[in-house]
Structure 1
């Protein structure tokens, strides 16, 4: 019997990652019965891409209750802007509906608390679509930890790099406003914190962090002109902006293309939304650089950093344990990397013995081959042959977000921040 899905937030991510596969690959198990968005043009874009959606009813956020009553969904798919997730999740749980939500599940620890409490009272369950877990290299790391090859995990070093194509995209869009996105320690780093939490099977307890806005905002060193309200598509000094000219030729304007949204035109394709705002605007109130230490309930210590303006994209990871160490490095976007890159491998160093280099079978698909397998688990049920849990629930979502909020709170307050305080929902605004 097909499950009935109502899509709340008809973003390009919703269309490409979820709606398209539900209408094709998983048509035997899924049915999209409603679309909900604040912008009717998003409904038009979705239906123009998938004409078979023509008769699917459309709703506005204020019509959520009516949508549930009329469309009778089994599952709410929360995939709009990050700050909308919590509201749809809680309202769905109050109606005993299941929820699939894009990460981050929410943008604050307080909203995480609302979701956890609502789920405890509900027959519905929350699933968070952490697709990074599903990349073959990441599942292999999990398996090595479970096999005991590293022993008891003592420390993790994770350094994440975002390049000068992907990094600025966050500062052109709504992500640059903390009140909407929670900042990049939540929007982006929640992916990274979830991976570590899952790999080591422990919960974060306390965070201390430093952070800064080094590259973007009006004081960015490469800002060609201090002036607010500019857009790449019409900027009169864009040829003096190195972030623009690095990726855009004079004859081919690609300024509004980014890794998350694809190409969104600036000529009114969506109402009141432009993804090409100036990366040097003074309304930017988030950081672009973090360094953090996280203490876990099992004794592991995480040393984490992320930088949103680097020459290449990827990460370096080391996990240390009482029986050995593993190391790996990934280039996320080799087509944009200005030098040859090798296929990712894992180096394993037993505490006493010789090094092993492990080659992992690669898969096609987004997020390192993780997206297709995640979709199978979501729409066909978890793989019964997999010997460990991988789908994320509300607690996973809350601890990843709580760590991200603890990071920026520590930056602002110059003190260690405990996860139990963040997830209590009682902390005052900074």
Structure 2
């Protein structure tokens, strides 16, 4: 059984390093299961990294403990996940008493570094939700902790695992358009999903590092992976001109607001039983309000963002993020020495269909595993030739099918070769978040920011 444990942990280390798993690295079927501890029992923690793990991989792993600063939310989370493990409001006590193999961090972004560092220093490998952290000093502290502890960090970048995004990677790796020279990437958050960030703690720079970090780290990781290089310099613009103090009126929170009938953004949390029981029922413990006014004066993040990023291999990226679009979707175009590749998802008028925008995010986050498949195009246009349309079968739920594939690779098929290198470790987490950190610093200073000046990791021309 100890041999099984060592093989499992060796595989975690290889996964964190982005190395293909050796055959039979895991020996499932043993009575010795991987012991997992989860810190942070919000929606993402208790669903994707909680309930789904307990339901899908109970023969492989077991929950050793759950931790959160809110005891009410913690107990509700334990029941929702469906486990009987002990619960803790003290992280170090949980680690000391339960001795987990793997710590999963799904807390507020500004505290990720605290639990990542403590977890590794106390002898655990760590898996963290994106983003890795919120500033360059915390980045460096995490880098130092991995070096001194000898433990490994995995970053849960699920977008890489979507079949659609993987097909883009495959086409680029095949040199279908030659050497990539520039990229245009534009992400549109609709007035349902985009607005939700401004209701929550994400609306405060000190908590989420702005959406340059919390949201865009997803996009920057995809781009680093697609381009197969690392960023060297960033220049950005951004402003807050729609949400926050710009609103026509404001209230205490949606439930008690006197502007319900006239506010287009009014959201009735009382209609969602899960949200009521997870958040509203336990506000008294920590004061966290889930249906905050998105026009409150304290909001200090950006709601429109644009950046230019130069990569070490000389590729130029033009990126934008809009948080109040009438629709939710994205576009990307790669220009190469031999052609151009274009891809997009969820642009409603591209397919001439009407999409219920209020259901978009719920469908993306759905973990039920129910079939909801479609085919989406990728356009490959070579110089002097007509274009080709490559159609990709994909799911809608679970972040385009990426959630399931990420977890299956980690816990069910670790020995399956992955020619696309989708596993993400510490360096991937650092390089994705540093673009957002650099963009934020560029806006504040009006100057371009060099990535190598933020941590002691020197950007590489080619990802390894």
TM-score, scaled relative to structure 2: 0.83
Which of 209, 219, 231 is 1:204 aligned to?
231
Structure 1 counterpart SS, 2:198: helix
- The count of aligned residue pairs is 404
Which of 45, 63, 73 is 1:32 aligned to?
63
Give 5+ residue unaligned stretches, structure 2.
Answer: 1-31, 349-353, 359-373, 458-464
Q: Which residue of 2 aligns with 1:375?
A: 407
Deviations 1:284-313 (A, max 9, x none): 011000111000000100000011001000
Q: Does 1:47 align with 2:67?
A: no
Instruction: Summarize the alignment of residues 13-412 of structure 1 with structure 2, pairs less than 5 Å apart.
Output: 13-51=44-82, 53-54=83-84, 56-60=85-89, 63-220=90-247, 223=248, 225=249, 227=250, 230-244=252-266, 253-254=268-269, 267-270=280-283, 271=285, 272-331=287-346, 335-337=355-357, 343-363=375-395, 365-382=397-414, 384-412=416-444
Kept in 2, the 8 Å contact 1:171–1:216? The answer is: yes
Higher helix fraction (1 or 2): 2
How many Å apart are 1:419 and its aligned residue? 1.1
Give 5+ residue unaligned stretches, structure 1.
Answer: 426-430
How many Å apart are 1:50 and its aligned residue? 3.9
In angstroms, what is the RMSD of aligned CA positions?
A: 2.2
Kept in 2, the 8 Å contact 1:155–1:319? The answer is: yes
How many Å apart are 1:422 and its aligned residue? 2.4
How many Å apart are 1:332 and its aligned residue? 7.8
How many Å apart are 1:400 and its aligned residue? 1.0
Kept in 2, the 8 Å contact 1:97–1:123? The answer is: no
Partners of 2:434 and 2:271 in 1: CA distance: 31
Kept in 2, the 8 Å contact 1:294–1:301? The answer is: yes
Kept in 2, the 8 Å contact 1:233–1:266? The answer is: no
How many Å apart are 1:49 and its aligned residue? 2.1
Q: 1:385 to 1:39 in 2, by over 3 A?
A: same
Q: Which residue of 1 aligns with 2:7?
A: none
Partners of 1:408 and 1:4 in 2: CA distance: 38
Q: Which residue of 1 aligns with 2:462?
A: none
Kept in 2, the 8 Å contact 1:406–1:418? The answer is: yes
TM-score, scaled relative to structure 1: 0.89
